[in-house]
Amino acid sequence: MSGIAELSAIDLAAAIAAGQVGAVEATQTYLDAIEKREPRIDAFNEVLAERAMDTARSIDTRRQNARPLGPLGGVPVAVKDNLCTTDGKTTCSSRILADFQAPYTATAVQKLEDAGAVILGKTNLDEFAMGSSTENSGFKVTRNPWDTDRVPGGSSGGSAACVAAGEAAAALGSDTGGSIRQPAAFCGVVGFKPTYGRVSRLGLVAYGSSLDQIGPLTVDVPDAALLTGVIAGHDPGDSTSVAKDVPDYLGQLETPIENLRIGLPVEFYSNALEAEINAAIHKAADIYKAAGATILDVSLPHSRIDCDAHGNLSSYAVACYYIVAMAEASSNLARYDGVHYGHRTAEKVDDIIDLYSRSRAEGFGQEVKRRIMLGTYTLSSGYYDAYYNKALKVRRLIKNDFDKAFEQCDVLLCPVGPTTAFKIGEKTDDPLTMYLADIYTISVNLAGLPALALPAGLSESNLPIGMQLIGPVFSEDRILRAARMYEKASDITRFRSEMARA
């Protein structure tokens, strides 16, 4: 079958199940695309070609023997390199874990494989998922398939870029403060962050334990529904995983939501937002209105974004997030000491403290070191109450704002980021400016809510513009259906970069 890479994951799985295309043929198509496009993109840290072909051959054998293949039977999928897999390395794009071989496979990845997916390899990320551009990787800089002079977003930039470049049918990422949704917006794909606790975090290398969540990056909303349904569900191995039934996301997807109420957070539409993005979001609101939805203004006062006369941005949510996230990062990354596993210095050391210091200094990058130091400071004696405890109180206020907004509406419609994809190197010298790339996404993680990013158009520079739908906890089905309504009502479906079409 020609045009394998043009098929969605759902259509490809159906074609393989029907015998119209073989899993080996599909896998080889994507491996060929990786070989052709990787020199320009650098989305993968490791390509597991031999294992992928072995899996594909087993899928074809199952089909020939009339055995069920699973909902993702034969579909080539990529996995962010902070998800543990027993095959290949799990590096978190950090030199401190450059040779780490995980002893088990993450639950979400195992569920993909149990559903018949073919794992192509591990994708690049900002080191330990700390970044918004995938420039903080310890190994390489991933580039945006729409414009290779620009970033793909972060931290799941490798996962978003490989889907946008046609190097994988879908991918898994992780989202601590927007790390699925922001790269999805920059690369013109769909990215879904489920409710905290909806997907097991077992095997996800921890950054911010109360914020992290695994989710899919796909070419369209139906594929996002399919993958979310596969990876969702309770896991007794993860104490934060919620024992709650998983709806049939895909089965309900094509049923429009009657009397849908969409809220526009007034605090998000300010001079902090690029005019083209503002126009695209409001055009999306008009499309929803034409489809029968009610559009109304709502308020999220503690997520307010201020922009002064000099263009400097500020937000309670940003301050709150970076205190909580860095405190948790400081705690989680304390385990990398050069003794238990990971990089150990080859230099002669004086004592155990010197061993720890040298190993961590050599293994961690600058951004990770910055966050560890800031997190340790906020947790230190004399500052814990002033910073960390105060941030937890603000986090509660942010959650309360969302709860109040959802009394008036079913979903929120807002931007994903204040700009389209920026140029490589543009923000690396100013960490605060980089942190503000997440001003529209981080409050979702603080509140533990589900949110989905999907394409809303193209800028005059031919760069993708993303929009974000946010819902109450465990409203994944509602968000997916609302997103599908827009996808069908608009002419924006399955964005494909010129690279992916080549």
Q: How many CB atoms lie within 10 A of CB 46?
A: 18
In terms of DSSP H, where are the helices of 73-202? 107-114, 157-164, 181-187
Contact yes or no for 146/417 (Cβ under 8 A): no
Helix (H, G, I), strand (E, B) or coil at 114: helix
Of the candidates 80, 111, 122, 193, the residue annotated as catalytic is: 80
b/e 118-129 (16+ beta carbons within 10 angstroms → b)? bbbbbbbbbbbb
Q: How far apart are CA 403 and CA 395, in angstroms?
A: 13
Of the candidates 94, 137, 155, 303, the residue annotated as catalytic is: 155
Q: Is residue 490 exposed (0-12), middle (13-18) or buried (19+ Cβ within 10 Å)?
A: middle
Q: How many residues does the chain have?
A: 502
Q: How far apart are CA 483 and CA 222, in angstroms?
A: 10
159 is catalytic: no
Contact yes or no for 473/448 (Cβ under 8 A): yes
CB-based contacts of 152, cutoff 8 Å, min separation 6: 43, 133, 134, 142, 143, 144, 145, 158, 160, 161, 164, 183, 186, 187, 421
155 is catalytic: yes
Four-residue CA torsion sign, 397, 232, 181, 454 = negative
Strand order in the sheet with 294-298: 44-47, 118-123, 76-80, 170-175, 213-218, 190-193, 451-458, 464-470, 411-415, 261-265, 294-298
Which residues are registered as beta bridge partners of 469?
Answer: 413, 452
Q: Which amino acid is at 399?
A: K
Of the candidates 179, 359, 443, 497, the residue annotated as catalytic is: 179
CB-based contacts of 403, cutoff 8 Å, min separation 6: 472
Nearest to 118 by CA among 158, 83, 72, 62: 72
Q: How far apart are CA 98 and CA 123, in angstroms?
A: 14
Q: Which amino acid is at 304?
A: R
Which residues are registered as beta bridge partners of 215?
Answer: 173
303 is catalytic: no
Q: Which amino acid is at 22?
A: G
Q: Which amino acid is at 428?
A: T
Task: Give how far Cα 9 sits from Cα of 168, 376, 483, Å.
Answer: 9, 43, 18
CA angle 432, 434, 439 (to 5 degrees): 90
The set of catalytic residues is 80, 155, 179
